Structures are given as C-alpha cells and as structure tokens.
Structure 1
Amino acid sequence: MEKLESNETLTSDLQTLTILDPLSTKFTTLNDLCFEISSLQDLAHRGSWRSIIDKIIRARKQSLLHKPHEHLIYLCYNVLALTKLRRFGDASDELDSLDDFDSHRYRYESYPEDYPNHEKGSMVPFALRWLHAEIPIRLGKRQETLDRLYLLLEFVRVKVVKSLNLSMEQWRRREVFLINTISSHHLNNKEFSVCLKLFKELLSRDSEDPVLLSKLGYIQMQLGDIEGSKGSFNGVENLIKKRNLEGIEFKNLINRNKAMVYLVGKDYVSAVREYEECMERDPTDVVAINNKSLCLMYLRDLSDSIKVLESALERVPTYALNETLVVNLCSMYELAYVNHSDIKKTLSNWIARVSPDDFDSSSTRS
C-alpha cells in the first residue's frame, strides 16, 4: 500500500490502509520576480506541469529571458515540474548545470548593469536550494538528501540570526518547513528519536506554536508515549484558547488531535465524532474525510466508509484527489465487491480526466 511521503502512519488492525497525517507538509510556493512569472504560478497551482515544461522550452528557444535571475527562476520551475512528473534523472541533470550556489555568478551585485537599483545578495530561490537537496533521495541516495537538507538548515539558521523584522520571519518559516521535511524523512525510516530532538529544539525557541506542539504530539505517539502525546495535545488546546485563535484550522486541529488519541485507543465511534465536527466546519478537510472513512471501516461499516470517500471525490475533487485517499478507496472496493476491477477501472478513467499531471495513476491499481 502506497502512502504520501510526509505521512505518519499508525499501527492498526488493517495494515493495508493509510491514515493521513494532518500535519503533512507540501512545498507550494516559489520566489517571484520573473518574466511572466504569474503564468507559471497559475500553471503550477493547476498542476499543469507538462505545460510548464513546454512554456520554459519556448522561453529559452526564443531568448525571452534576459536577466540572470530570470534564468534561475525558470530553471527552478523546470526542476519542480520534472520532479512532479517523476523525471528525477532529468531534474538532476538540470541541477547539475549550475555552479555552486554561493558562486559570484548568482549574486545581484555581480551584474550592476542589469540591477541598477543596487540589489544585493543571492538571487538563488530558496525553492531551488530545497529541490537540490530533495532530488537525490528520489534516485536512491537517501543519505545525500539528508546531508544536503541539514546543510540547508544551517544556511537558513544563519539567515535567521542575521535578518531583521519581516525577513527574519520569512527565514523562520523556512526553518520550520525544513525541519518538517527532515522529520518526514526520518519518520519514513522510523527514526523517531531524531524527530523528537528536532521539534523539541524548535519548541525551545517558540513554545507557543500550536502546530509545532501538535507535531511533537504525533512523534510522541509514534514512540509509544501516549501520555506524553496527550499532554502535548492538551497543551495545543490551551495555547489556542490562551491566544484566542478562532480560525477553523485551529479548531479542526484540536478535533484531529483528539481523534488520533481515540484512534490509538480503538475508540472509533468517538474518533468519527471528532472528524465529523471538522468536516462540518470545513468540507474540504481531506484528513478528516479520509480518517473518518477508515474509522467506519474499522467499525465494519464498509458501505458507509466507501460513501464518505466517493462523496468527497464528487464534492471537492480538487482537495480529495490525492494518492492516499484513492489507494484507500480502491482497497475498500477490493474488500466490498466481487467486480472491484470494473469499479476501479471506472474510477481510473474519471481520474484521468480531472487529475493534475503529477497524479500517480497507479494508485487505482486497476
């Protein structure tokens, strides 16, 4: 059974199904400042990765890019699109065309004629640095990815110290993003103690971030420290009340944390209740949708568990169409129907019409 890379899974009676991690992170934005950058951003949001590659090929052939930073931004989008399409070798080759990121070639002050307003510093997008770190693991080089991610984390932490005001906040967000990324790799290898250390270090500097504290709770759960995770989740609820955080995302965070505790205790009825509260507030909460469905299945209500996922795909396909949810739905089809191959084929045909370019069609197993 395939799972999302940044997912954390819980041991359950049915090992073939994957519980979505409500704190999984995906990198979704790139730096701006480029010729027609808005069109690339729009294509990326729509998952039109093949169109991005075609657009970049045309821009390069027609010499539409004039300033050095434009080439870097377009290269970054190209590497991202190749990665999304699982063309990891091509993405690696594109990255190999670059010099060291600290080279003078990639600094604004090296091109005073192009940047007369005295821009200074590196023009290398943070996204490109991150992709450079992530690509090796897709080629079977896990340690190289970890080494590069830790080096990038050091780079970001230096920036945090040297930056001021809004810039500092941006680098702090990147630090948290990197620690989530590194933690995901360690979680996939069941190196829970490393993850625990990473998040405790973050929380020692920012003890009032409810999302970070929730992440700590999930790691404690993976380590079997149920009481510790309950303490962290209670701390999340107290923080949200203390800071008067009224947003739906914070209310749903509390419910999902409670649901996870119920899940571990196999109190699936109570977990369903928590997930339903999330879905009432936010019908696009795919974590609640997926996990409610699994809880119903654990309660031997396979028919309703299938209906939950099918309804989500019909109502909010943009949010519900991910590989984990589809894998789980197909597994349920196999359990429920003799003619599951025909049903999965119908699902696969529908997905082919509506899915983004990077959707893994093998998740339907049809």
Structure 2
Amino acid sequence: MDDSDQTQTETPTRITDPLTNAFGSLKDLAPELDSLQELATRGSWRSILDKVSRARSLSLLTLPHHHLTYLAYNALALMKLRRFDDAAQELDSLEDFNSSSYRYESYPHAYPNRTGSMVPFSLRWLHAVLPFKMLNRQEGLDRFYLLLDFVRDKLRQKKDEKLDLSASVWRKREVFVVYSLIGYHLTGKEFGVCLNLVRELLKNSDDFDPVLVSKLGYIQMQIGDLEGASKSFNRVEEVLKSKESDGSVVELRNLVNRNKALVYLIGKDYVSAVREYEVCIERDGNDVVAVNNKALCLMYLRDLSDAIKVLENALERAPTVMLNETVVVNLCSMYELAYVNHSDIKRTLSSWISRVAPDDFDSSCMRI
C-alpha cells in the first residue's frame, strides 16, 4: 500500500506487507503486477528481476506509481538473492521519500482528486532493512526508528481524522516495525530495550495481542524473570479460555502450548516439552516452530533417529512450508551426529532441495 491520505484497503500478501493496493486491483496498480505477486509468493525472485527488466526496457511503466511499485519488487528480489550492493544502488536511485515528485497531487492529470504520498510502505521498510544485510547495524537501527516515528505520526493523524480503517492499517504497520526492532535488539541481547518496546506497544494498544504478550514472556525468560514470564503466558491462556467456543483459534491454542513448552525447556524437561509440541503438530501439521523444536528436544534426549524422522517427514510432507535454513541446519547437524557417512546423506538432501527450494534458499547452510 502507498502512503496516500485517502482511506484504503489491504491486499493480503505473504511477503511481509511490501506491496498492498490502494487501487481497485493489482492490474490497476501496475501492468502485470498480479504475476509479480504470484512469483513472489512462490519465491521466484530471479523471474521477478527478469519481468521488471522487461517492463522497464519496453517502457511499459507509464505512471509514476508504476515505477515505484516495480522498484519495490526489484529491490526486494535483489535482497532475497543476497545481491545487497545492487539493492542499495536501486534504492539510492530514489529521491527523498518525502519529495514532491512522489506525491499524487504533483500529477493532477494522472491522479485527479488524489493526495498524499505514492511511496509504497515496502520501500520505506526495505530502506531500513538493507543496512542490516550490509552489516551496518547502527544505520539500520537509526532508519528503523525513523520509520517508527513516521508510522506513529501517520497513526496519530488517521486517528485525529477518525479514519478508523486507515488507522487500523497504520496500527498493523506500527506493530510490524516494532516486531522488527525487537528482533534486531534480541540478536544483540539488548533485552532492556526489547522490554521497553513491548511494554510501550502494549500500553498504546486497544486490544489484547496474545502474540505480543507471549513475546513479552519470552523476553522475561531471557533475563531470568521466570515469574514474570509465567504471568505473561498465563494471561494468554486466560484469553484462550474465553474463546473456547470459537472454532478459529487453532493458532492461539498452539501459541499457548508453545509457551508451555518453553517453560519446560528452561527447566530441561524435554519429555514434557515434546508432549506440548506434539499437541501443536496434531492440531496443525504445518506449525514449523513446533516441528523444529520437537526434533531438537528429541535430540537433547539423545533420540537422534526419531529427531531426524520428525524433520525429514515434515520436509517431505510440506516442503513449501517447512523448507527454511533453520530446519535444514538442524537436520544437517543431526546427520553429522548420527552418521559416519553424513556427507553423502547431506548431498542427497541438497539434490532434493535444489529441485524444490525457492530462489533465495541459502544452500551454504548445509555445510557440504
């Protein structure tokens, strides 16, 4: 979605809210954009680069917002393929995001009666993420906090104007940006900053967010506040009890069981943790966290054979969902522990992955 001042609706997408739609359809947003969206969903990032190059060379992009939308897809594809210098060059080709060149009212004949910025939110997000990919952590943090300020300014504006739908969109973006910041600060073990971010978000929230409260519990566990973590996890479980009659709470129920499993993991009660993860998997076989963590618990219990079977079966059953570097790294580590001929087994796995993996899968994680 662009940053237009008009009330807009979201188009569901798998790629972390990079390109939602302020127009009637994806085809209205830009030529062939629906095919780009499909390619992104499949992880066909090289094909996206080809399509963008074709559209540019044939001058298919006739309106300013066409160029911005295609540039966002192109930059995302370059980052997914770890071509970070090329992605930086693409983003550097833009003027300041607040430039009048990127406002609808600067082109009244092309966009009659439209006002506001046409810059997709995705471009602002990619601009913040890129420094982390290029190992410039401080610049990345600076950009993310500037993005958070921008989002909160927009959120306040929409609330003041009583544009409830638009405010809801910006609230989701605020949560998304804060979650990203929490992830980066967790990587740096800056738990105090993470606690402040979570608590500020909770304070400003009108609704109970079980995922955010669970995140609070996880951070509390990291700093040794087991009592506080238990209280946070219990709050999530209480919300579940109030929704027992709701048939659409599978994700929330799994969240509760995963929280319980974390408590068991801290106490090294791996048998009980496995039991909680099995409940999750029975409820939703595509729960990647539960599948991966169940296998790790079995490994800790020295049951390498079953641990390997858990991951192999999951990959075979649902490769699109389960195939990520974390799962593959863990499986390869188990091979190394279990088999003398682990190199041959990993090559067989690598051959299979090369046929089914998206373009951005990092095969170096297999350590062959």
Given the two structures, how large is their TM-score scaled by the length of structure 2?
0.91
CA displacement at 1:162 relative to structure 2: 1.0
Q: Say which of 83, 100, 103 aligns to 1:107.
A: 103
CA displacement at 1:31 relative to structure 2: 2.3
Q: Say which of 335, 338, 345 aligns to 1:336.
A: 338
Change (3 A) 1:47 1:26: closer
Q: Distance in 1 between matches of 2:211 and 2:313?
A: 29
Residue by residue over 1:76-134, the C-alpha shift from the partner in whole angstroms, topping out at 9 and shown as x without a partner, is: 00000000000000000001000000000000010011112x11100000010000011
Number of the residue aligned with 1:306 = 308
Number of the residue aligned with 2:271 = 269
Partner SS for 2:256: helix
Verify the 8 A CA contact 1:136 1:142 in the aligned structure 2.
Answer: yes
What runs of 5+ residues in structure 2 fail to find an aligned partner?
1-13, 22-28
Number of the residue aligned with 1:12 = none
Change (3 A) 1:158 1:195: same
Q: Distance in 1 between matches of 2:92 and 2:153?
A: 25
Q: Say which of 18, 24, 27 aligns to 2:16.
A: 27
Q: Distance in 1 between matches of 2:79 and 2:267?
A: 39
Number of the residue aligned with 1:257 = 259
Q: Which amino acid aligns with 2:40?
A: A
Number of the residue aligned with 1:242 = 242
- The answer as to 2:83 corresponding to 1:87 is yes
Verify the 8 A CA contact 2:36 2:48 in the aligned structure 1.
Answer: yes
Q: Distance in 2 between matches of 1:146 and 1:30?
A: 23
Verify the 8 A CA contact 1:210 1:240 in the aligned structure 2.
Answer: no
- The answer as to 2:355 corresponding to 1:356 is no
Moved more, 244-253 or 281-290: 244-253
Q: Which amino acid aligns with 2:70?
A: Y
Number of the residue aligned with 2:211 = 211
Q: Which amino acid aligns with 2:75?
A: V
Q: Which aligned pairs between 1:13-162 and structure 2 lie closer than 5 A?
A: 27=16, 29-32=18-21, 33-116=29-112, 118-162=113-157
Residue by residue over 1:279-323, the C-alpha shift from the partner in whole angstroms, topping out at 9 and shown as x without a partner, is: 011111010000000111111111000000000010011111000
Number of the residue aligned with 2:329 = 327
Q: Which amino acid aligns with 2:120?
A: P
The structure whose RCO (Cα within 8 Å, separation 6+) is larger is 1
Q: Distance in 1 between matches of 2:66 and 2:222?
A: 44
Verify the 8 A CA contact 1:85 1:358 in the aligned structure 2.
Answer: yes
CA displacement at 1:36 relative to structure 2: 1.6
Identity among equivalent positions (%) equals 65
Moved more, 121-130 or 217-226: 217-226
Q: Distance in 1 between matches of 2:85 and 2:328?
A: 27
Verify the 8 A CA contact 1:31 1:73 in the aligned structure 2.
Answer: no
What runs of 5+ residues in structure 1 fail to find an aligned partner?
1-24
Q: Which amino acid aligns with 1:228?
A: G
Q: Which amino acid aligns with 1:127?
A: S
Given the two structures, how large is their TM-score scaled by the length of structure 1?
0.91
Verify the 8 A CA contact 1:134 1:145 in the aligned structure 2.
Answer: yes
Q: Distance in 2 between matches of 1:348 and 1:243?
A: 44
Count of residue pairs brought into register by the alignment: 341
CA displacement at 1:240 relative to structure 2: 2.6
Q: Distance in 2 between matches of 1:99 and 1:324?
A: 37
Q: Distance in 2 between matches of 1:348 and 1:108?
A: 48
Q: Which amino acid aligns with 1:123?
A: M
